[in-house]
Amino acid sequence: MQLGYQYPLKFTAVNEGVKEEGCTPLMVAASYGNIDIVKDLLQHGADPRMKTSAGNTASDDARDGGFTDLAKLIDDYPTIQLIAQITGNVTAELQKQLNEILLVVSLAAVVIVMLITIVVGFLYVKCNLVTCSSLPKYQLML
């Protein structure tokens, strides 16, 4: 069964439902042991790391239903962040983490530029006031 062809899923739709229903479509499929649906949902960007309010994941639901092979498949599924980048499916939690990382990197870049500016300015002032005033002008050209 190909969900993408039979049912037009948006990439974000496969991760919806935790707040409204308490579980995602992946969790429901895992709890019933439906390996074909689980594989299709994962291929369409379902996030196996999502948790219910009780803290259960889709692999927990599969284990609870006695589907240990399915739980292992979900646990061993390739890195979700890479899939999210490829499909454009970024959950709110992942987006928040990415925004925090970008903020830290941006602030670090600003601090580095400020430090370079201060050091260059200090050296320029020092050079003009003390050292370079006695040098011939042709030696000051950079």
**17-60 pLDDT per residue, tens:** 666 667 888 999 999 999 999 988 888 778 888 888 888 999 99
Return the closest-CA partner of residue 43 out of 1, 71, 72. Answer: 1
Residues 8 and 59 in one domain: yes
Residues 10 and 77 in one domain: yes
C-alpha 55/C-alpha 53 separation (Å) is 5
SS3 of 104, please?
helix
Higher per-residue pLDDT: 57 or 83: 57
Q: How far is CA 47 from the centre of its chain?
A: 12
Residues 62 and 95 in one domain: no
Instruction: Judge contact between 71 and 30, C-beta under 8 A.
Output: yes
Instruction: For residue 107, give its domain range.
Output: 91-142
Residues 73 and 99 in one domain: no
Residues 103 and 61 in one domain: no
User: Lowest-pLDDT range, 45-54, 61-70, 107-116?
Assistant: 45-54
Distances (CA, A) of 42 to 29, 69, 75, 88, 139: 11, 15, 11, 14, 66
> Quick one: what percent of the chain has pLDDT higher than 90?
23
The total of structural domains in the chain comes to 2
Instruction: Judge contact between 90 and 84, C-beta under 8 A.
Output: yes
The helix or strand, by DSSP H or E, that contains position 84, with its residue range, turns out to be helix 80-87
